[in-house]
Amino acid sequence: MSLCHPKSTNERHEDILKNSNKNILKGTRWLRSQISRAKPIVIYGLLWIDLIEQQNTMPNTLDISSVLDILRPVQDPELQKSLVELNMIRNVKIDGSNVSFTLVLTTPACPLREFIVEDCQKAVKQLPGVEKVSVEVTAETPQQKGVVDRQGIEGVKNIVAISSGKGGVGKSTVAVNVAVALAQTGAKVGLLDADIYGPNDPTMLGLGEAKVMVKEGKNGESLEPAFNYGVKLVSMAFLIDKDQPVIWRGPMLNGIIRQFLYQVNWGDLDYLIVDMPPGTGDAQLTMAQAVPMAGVVIVTTPQTVALLDSRKGLKMFQQLGVPVLGIVENMSYFVPPDMPDKQYDIFGSGGGEKTAAELGVPLLGCIPLEIPLREGGDTGVPIVAGQPGSASARELRAIAGRIAGKVSVAALA
């Protein structure tokens, strides 16, 4: 028996039963020998009764300690550590044959939530006398680790950038839908539209006509973000006219991004998603050098020309010391609305997977190209909210969960 796999409560109970049965057998043999010698057996009869009662009243208690012991081998699949050791099992209560406890996950968007709950229930039901196991699931998103010479944002736990090597690959579509998908799980989410020259997130989030207010706070003036679908949003689009171009050099771009980081009333956020502009320019440098980022996600299509630029963008963040959470392949294949069972590889196939393998980073998912996905961006109804059962919505929710999982693992490593 390994120290890493201590005996369960059931196994200990079985050992006690075996020992008790051995004692009973010995007592019976001894009693028979005394009867054959014609000695009084009243006292020995009491011993026999006592041995029977010992079997019926052996330790078989159901308590908090036994529940925690039986749950100790159950691990968080991503952290690969015991739920009990991680203090993710709390508020254990026993009411007769009913056991209840709270499972505290590291993110509301945990993609393995159902599997962890099922493993916990199976484990506890092994205990003698347990008929019902109730699990209340909550989450406490961990704070990303600080970085020397980089200033965090008060109340913001994790900053995640969504970037791409070139434009036109659907980066903003991914950023908006990932933000909404995270908010749908109960996480507190903000979205910073750092694409200063082409700010489209308000339109995609149904906030194209929204107005933002500047309020006086304890630290001076701060911008109140717009809000929709559970996501707080700031964007350059709120500060300029619809057709007004932004013709700025690097220092002004750097200044507005820093204002969006530090002079916005973000409040408490589990995740601040930053929709980066394409390329490897001033905005990326500002973000990487200003704030500690939990990681970056690179969006590409399977097409060779998109992959070439995505590799450059990925390498840039690595050189700046920003963790790369993985690659998302967008527009992986086209699904015609009149033939949903068919797929057409308009931009090629397998490029994202191959690139991820070559660069040693995870492939977070492959999003199909569907007409409702484009329509949702134009009408301000993200597909994860407007058509949650569609193939692209399901994949976007899975990608959001994988991003959240990797952020939590990095924070707790």
Place of tokens 């909210």: 385
SS3 label, residue 242: coil
Give the residue among 412, 410, 194, 257 at the shortest CA–CA distance from 323. 410
Q: Can you tell me the distance from the alpha carbon of 140 to that of 360, in angstroms, rounded to the nearest whole number?
A: 30
Are 139 and 133 within 8 A, CB to CB? no
Q: Can you tell me the distance from the alpha carbon of 370 to that of 381, in angstroms, rounded to the nearest whole number?
A: 14
How many C-beta atoms lie closer than 10 Å to residue 73's C-beta? Answer: 15
Q: What is the pLDDT of residue 5?
A: 33
Has residue 280 got a pLDDT over 80?
Answer: yes
Span 145-171, pLDDT tens digits = 888 888 999 999 999 999 999 899 999
Span 391-409, pLDDT tens digits = 999 999 999 999 999 999 9
Q: In Å, how far are 69, 76, 181, 231, 313 from 227, measured between CA atoms?
A: 45, 33, 15, 6, 30
Span 10-55, pLDDT tens digits = 444 444 344 444 444 444 444 444 434 433 333 333 333 333 343 3
Q: Can you tell me the distance from the alpha carbon of 72 to that of 75, in angstroms, rounded to the nearest whole number?
A: 8
Mean pLDDT (the chain) is: 86
Span 61-113, pLDDT tens digits = 789 999 999 999 999 998 899 999 999 999 999 999 999 999 999 999 998 89
Q: What is the pLDDT of residue 60?
A: 59
Q: What is the pLDDT of residue 179?
A: 98
Determine what percent of the chain falls in helix, strand and coil, rounding each to the nearest 5.
40, 20, 40
* pLDDT bracket for residue 57 (50, 70, 90): very low
Partner residues linked to 161 by β-bridges:
274, 296
Give the residue among 207, 186, 194 at the shortest CA–CA distance from 160. 194
Which of the two residues, 383 and 248, has the higher pLDDT score? 383
Are 168 and 305 within 8 A, CB to CB? no
* pLDDT bracket for residue 267 (50, 70, 90): very high
Q: Can you tell me the distance from the alpha carbon of 404 to that of 158, in angstroms, rounded to the nearest whole number?
A: 9
Q: What is the pLDDT of residue 55?
A: 37
- Give CA angle at 223 (219, 226), nearest 5°: 145
| Phi, psi (deg, nearest 5) at residue 171 | -60, -45
Q: What is the pTM (predicted TM-score) of this model? A: 0.82
Are 325 and 362 within 8 A, CB to CB? yes
Q: What is the pLDDT of residue 148?
A: 81
Span 165-215, pLDDT tens digits = 989 999 999 999 999 999 999 999 999 999 999 999 999 999 999 999 998
> In sequence order, what DSSP letters do the residues of 136-161 get, joined into one string?
EEEE-PPPPPP-TT----TTB--EEE
Phi-psi region of 292 (alpha: psi -120 to 50; beta: other; left: phi over 0): beta
Span 294-341, pLDDT tens digits = 999 999 999 999 999 999 999 999 999 999 999 999 999 999 988 988
Q: What is the pLDDT of residue 20?
A: 42
